[in-house]
Chains A and B, each alone.
Chain A
Amino acid sequence: MFLPGLLLVSLALGQDAVPAMVPVGPPASIAAGATWREDRGTSRMDADLFRLARAPDGGAWLLGLEDGSLWRSMDGARSWSRVLRAPSERASVDDEEVLLEGEVAVEEELERTREDTTAEEEQAVEIEAEATGEDVGASDPEGTVREEGGDATADIDRVATDPLQPDEDEDRPAVVWFDPADAQVALAGRGDGIWRSVDGGVHWRRMDRAADAWRFLAVPSLGIVVAGTSSGVRVSPDGGERWFDTVDVTDGLQVDALVEFEGQVLAGTRAGLFASRDGLRWSRLPLSGAVAALLPDPGWVGGLWVGTPSGLLRSDDAGKSFYRAGRQVLAGLRGLVQLDGQGHIAAWGTDGVWESMDGGVTWHPVYAGLQDPDVRDLVVVGDQAVAAGSRSIWRLGAERDATAYARTGVVTPQDQALLGFLVDTSTRRQGLDLAVLQAGAIGQRALLPTLTIDAQIDSDGGRSSLPLSAQTVESRDGSFYLGTSACFGACAALTAGTASFDDGYAVYRDDADLDGLYTLDGRLVGGGSEAFVATAAAQGMRKYRQQVADQLAGAWSTIQRLDAAETAPSLAAQVSHALDVLEAAARLDLYTDGAYARSRTSETLP
């Protein structure tokens, strides 16, 4: 297995593989006996949820929606007040309303806090921040940055005096972020620019109209904040007040992940991974595919996990080389987060929340109660996870069945590994395996032509008689043609009659219809019926995979509970107990094509 090997190598190299901040010993699964519960505080929101952020002092939470609006909560992400309208909505709103909106939100929150705060909520809110930082300006001696947009420091007063015209990309979702060093400073990226708040997300000022942002990262060692935008990286030397565009290789690339790692800043883009030591000059690392998430491994110097559409990759040498971390695809992965314990990580995306306790080698879903597998964002506070689903907030609560884990206290890592294996097996069955749809392959279809080889033989002859001159002429001709043609696109109009074989080849191209393009796992797979069917199939698969995981969980929990139960006194009860175990095992087998039975006859997992 990966982890023991990692530890051995660590000892051999004499590395400090286990820093003090990482607890040593087998971690406890966040899934053990816990279930997701839905918070309906988002029910009055008009758009889907997109990003969730928690202030470092635990006081405020921010939520960015698909329509670009921002919402704030002061009671542990339970109830929400809107603090900034969507860009499209702002165009028709009275300016003064915009200014007053945040103050109204504060009043609502204070009122709610006075009335509703419970002891449990206070505990959730009062988790102390750990990070500290400093505000240091950045210099630019080599002129590698440029400031764009004369109104980069435009504030809300400026917005109020200008006609509020909707921006081109106004419907883009909003991302939200808190400065880890200052709970009062928050940033938001939307289609109409980068916004900043200095009062914990109550009031917002637009600081940069020139670019949107998908990710933010504070780099205290450099005194900068980095923003990953849809067209490269931007840098702020003053905590987000002014923004500068870096002139570098990331220009034009959407940045989906940012992380500080081994004295560098890493930027994961749709076209590879880039690194910079100063935030200004970037160089490409040997990973050219799309990067959706990045997570440094605190338990291994130079260890890094990279989430990609085709699965999780791992680097043990600070990004010099990468290899596949596990065999599971983790379809639609959006993010990774470190949990307590070495190699204990979680991933989330369109297929729900998954947990790995062995450094990403095997994964099992954190499924119980989660009815919306399309998880947009995940925030983990201690042992509590809060997920933003597409329509509501989900909270992973410790709702343990006291008898289920009476024997061992918790589900052991071995049990979790077996459950992970079973879930993996059940969701890889034909008809549920998302990997077979191969989003890349479907996209590549559009690049390949229809190849036609055409052979034609002609033979003709005739006789002509001229009675007046008593002449008869006969003729006989023959010909052979061989031609090829390659037709790109729909090719519906191509017929043999239109092909010219004079030159021996012909190339046709029908312009693709750009309407009705589809994406699968975030990748464009083209248009037409194939792409539609593929995306519909993927959607159906995701939903049913979640149901299968739930069914497996039920059967698994039954076996765990029965194993932990006291021995029944009567023979009838013992037989009933045995039949219950056999039935639960049979149900595990039916969802795993017999893998559960096979695993029980083998000492190691297949």
Chain B
Amino acid sequence: MNLAFSLLLSPVLAGEFSSADDVLAQFSAEPSIAAVHQMALEYSKTDPKYVNQWLKAAKSAAALPALTLDYNYKRSLGTDYGYYTAEDAGNDGELTEEEANALAFGPFATGQGLDYYHTGSVKASWKLSDLIMSSDEIRVINEAQDVVKLRDKVLEEVTRLYFERRRLQVDQLLGSGGELKKRVSDELRLAELTAQIDAYTGGAFSRDLARKQ
């Protein structure tokens, strides 16, 4: 539909513009390159603010202690038993062995006990060295390096696509129109570039175009 509509538009004669600024002003309703950069940063989550948040979190985490709570409960029951043996009864030699055996008895409870223990502990531990620079912070810095490389790569590509698209638009605007085949080809290329920019911005570029137009 859009393609068909675009093809109906006839190119503007170059004489209708007095300067390059006049030509570029025709696209003032489209998002600027700075805005597209911001869209790409948001979508790729490579905005410096994310790295700053990581760093801040890594630094503040060092102020919090490693907390260990410990509770133990122990309950123990015990019964002591005794025996009255034949040796105990006849150890002075006055009883016969038979008499002594008759007197022996047991086991019998001599003592019963119940013990219980409650132990609770709280341990807070700070790595003071992390207040200066924590291993998390160092790893975030290392990770930030990958993020900045990714960000540069994404924005380089977005910049290239944005200006290639704009040059194509200018060409369409100032060109003589040419054959239908070429115009269709240009329109398809324009749609392709728009889609590629959308891929880097999560569709925000097209949404912004639609809203402003």
Contacts and interface: CB of A to CB of B under 8 A. Distances in A.
Interface of A: 429-432, 436-438, 441-442, 444-468, 496, 529-530, 533-534, 536-537, 540-541, 544, 548, 551, 570-572, 574-579, 582-583, 586-587, 589-591, 593-594, 597
Contact of A452 (B20, B113, B123): B123
A457 B120 contact: yes
B156 interface: yes
Contacts of A533: 135, 138-139, 142
A570 to B, nearest CB: 8
Contacts of A454: 121-124
Contacts of B163: 579, 582-583, 586
B148 interface: yes
Which size class do B's interface residues fall under? Answer: 35 or more
Given A441-B133, A578-B21, A430 B55 contact: yes
11 contacts: A430-B55, A431-B51, A431-B143, A437-B141, A453-B65, A454-B121, A459-B117, A537-B142, A544-B149, A574-B20, A578-B24
Given A462-B115, A571-B23, A591 B133 contact: no
A496 B68 CA distance: 10
Contacts of B207: none
A572 to B, nearest CB: 5
A229 B122 CA distance: 55
A449 B19 CA distance: 69
A462 B78 CA distance: 11
Contacts of A540: 142, 145
B159 A450 contact: no
Contact of A460 (B115, B142, B167): B115
Nearest to A541: B145
A204 to B, nearest CB: 45
A496 B152 contact: no
A587 B131 CA distance: 38
Interface string B8-25: 000000100101110110
Interface of B: 14, 17, 19-21, 23-24, 33-34, 37, 48, 51-52, 55, 65, 68, 70, 109-133, 135, 138-139, 141-149, 152, 155-156, 159, 162-163, 166-167, 170, 174
B52 A590 contact: no
Given A457-B121, A583-B163, A586-B159, A431 B116 contact: no
A568 to B, nearest CB: 9
A78 to B, nearest CB: 36
Contacts of B114: 462-464
Given A450-B125, A496-B121, A575-B24, A466 B34 contact: no
CB-CB nearest 6 A-B residue pairs: A431-B144, A462-B115, A431-B148, A445-B129, A456-B121, A590-B155
Nearest to A449: B128
A456 B117 contact: no
A446 B132 CA distance: 11
Nearest to B114: A463
Nearest to B14: A571
A428 to B, nearest CB: 11
A437 B113 CA distance: 63
Contacts of A455: 121-123
A441 B132 CA distance: 6
Given A448-B128, A455-B122, A594 B34 contact: yes
A579 B166 contact: yes
A431 B111 contact: no
Contact of B145 (A438, A464, A537, A587): A537
Contacts of A589: 33-34, 37
A536 B142 contact: yes
Contact of A583 (B125, B133, B155, B159): B159
Nearest to A479: B119
Contacts of A529: 135
Contact of A464 (B68, B109, B112, B143): B112
A319 B205 CA distance: 59
A583 B19 CA distance: 18
Given A454-B121, A460-B116, A574 B19 contact: yes
A441 to B, nearest CB: 5
Q: Give the interface centre of A438, A463, A533, A586 by most chain B CB atoms within 10 Å.
A: A586
A496 B174 contact: no
Nearest to B74: A460
A572 B14 contact: yes
Given A450-B129, A571-B20, A582-B33, 20 more contacts: A430-B48, A430-B51, A430-B148, A438-B132, A448-B131, A450-B128, A455-B122, A455-B123, A456-B120, A457-B121, A459-B117, A464-B113, A466-B111, A468-B110, A496-B68, A529-B135, A544-B149, A571-B23, A586-B37, A590-B37
A466 B121 CA distance: 34
Contacts of A575: 20, 23-24, 170, 174
Nearest to B163: A583
A587 B153 CA distance: 11
A274 B52 CA distance: 41
Nearest to B55: A430
Contacts of B115: 460-463
B188 to A, nearest CB: 21
Contact of A429 (B48, B55, B156): B48
Given A437-B138, A458-B117, A462-B114, A572 B159 contact: no
Contacts of A453: 65, 123-125
Nearest to B166: A579
